[in-house]
Amino acid sequence: MPLILGLLAMYGPTVVDLSRTIWQSEEQGHGPLILAASLWLFYEGRAALAQDSKGSSHPLAWAGLILGAALYAFGRTQSIIMLELGSVIPVVGASLALLYGWPAVYKLKFPLFFLIFTVPLPGPVIDALTGPLKAHVSSIAETLLYALGYPVARIGVSLTVGQYQLLVADACSGLNSMLSLAAIGIFYLHLMKRPSAIHNVLLLLVIAPLAFAANIIRVIILCLVTYHFGDEAGQGFVHGAAGLMLFAIALVLLFSVDSVLSLVFRRKQTS
């Protein structure tokens, strides 16, 4: 209970700040879901925190706690959210080691690892990744629309369809969908506990292509809606609904690939 109260006192204000800022954006809207999933994983693994567990006073545990506290203090005072939120991993891990010993940390290694997905990427990294992704998405969308007979032209990441001009924004690059799908895919694999390592690796490898393809479809749909029904229709409800719908489609495709792989590996085991 003191550990829980201490974590709430430290990171409660951080969560409040995130809920008022970046978690309200489309790019980081998955943050609360990832945090909720992480808390559920810790709750499911609470059996590792047995009352008879012996804490460890190993210097490495104290070093981890001091490092985490320093990262939190520096990130909080300097408004560096990546350090402030990322510090929760060494703080929680070191606290568990001190209270319950290293075996408890080992048993809860997946919830600790999953907390990585709650940490936003730094701005320079996002800019470096989204630029090429937006260029590829807009280029492929232009090629497909032109093949369908639509009057389309592209300048950089700007698409002109008929009399309308659309800018492929960062949210349409596919980076955030890749991160969200990666988190959900890893969470899904952890729950399913597939026995084959090849199965798990193949499923992880298809996450990025699925997210990329889903965002291409999203841009094409927005172009078609704008071309046929006007700019107001393309930028209204359809704009937000297209992102949610295609993310759901990407999830269904991910689960479908998992089902196919399960069938293939089940037949191999049977033979």
Mark whether 223 is an active-site residue: no
Output the pLDDT for position 22.
81
Q: Ranked by mean pLDDT, which of 22-26, 125-129, 206-210 comes out on top? A: 206-210
Instruction: Give helix 175-192 / helix 207-229 axis angle, nearest 10°.
Output: 130
Instruction: Using pLDDT thresholds of 50, 70 and 90, give the confidence band for residue 92.
Output: very high
Choosing from 76, 154, 172, 223, the catalytic residue is 172
101 Rama class: left (phi>0) / alpha (psi -120 to 50) / beta? left
Residue with tokens 């990130």: 75
Output the pLDDT for position 239.
66
Output the pLDDT for position 240.
65
pLDDT at residue 256 is higher than 70 = yes
Residue with tokens 């999830």: 251
Long-range contacts, 11-20 (Cβ 8 Å, 24+): 11/85, 11/88, 14/76, 14/81, 14/84, 14/85, 17/81, 18/81, 18/85
The number of angstroms, rounded, from the C-alpha of 118 to the middle of its chain's C-alpha atoms is 8
Output the pLDDT for position 229.
81
Instruction: Using pLDDT thresholds of 50, 70 and 90, give the confidence band for residue 243.
Output: low
DSSP state of 164: E
Output the pLDDT for position 172.
62
Residue with tokens 């639509």: 150
pLDDT at residue 79 is higher than 70 = yes
Output the pLDDT for position 224.
87
Give residue limits of the domains in the chain.
2-120, 124-270
Choosing from 194, 218, 266, 267, the catalytic residue is 218
pLDDT at residue 66 is higher than 90 = yes
Q: Which residues, in sequence order, are CB contacts of 230 under 8 Å at separation 6+?
A: 164
Output the pLDDT for position 165.
86
The residue with greater pLDDT, 180 or 16, is 16
Q: What is the pLDDT of residues 150-170, one digit of tens each?
A: 999 988 888 888 888 888 776
Poorest-pLDDT segment among 5-9, 64-68, 170-174, 198-202: 170-174
The residue with greater pLDDT, 250 or 79, is 79
67/87 Cα distance (integer angstroms):
8
Model-level pTM? 0.75
Output the pLDDT for position 198.
87
Q: Which residues pair with 150 in a beta bridge?
A: none
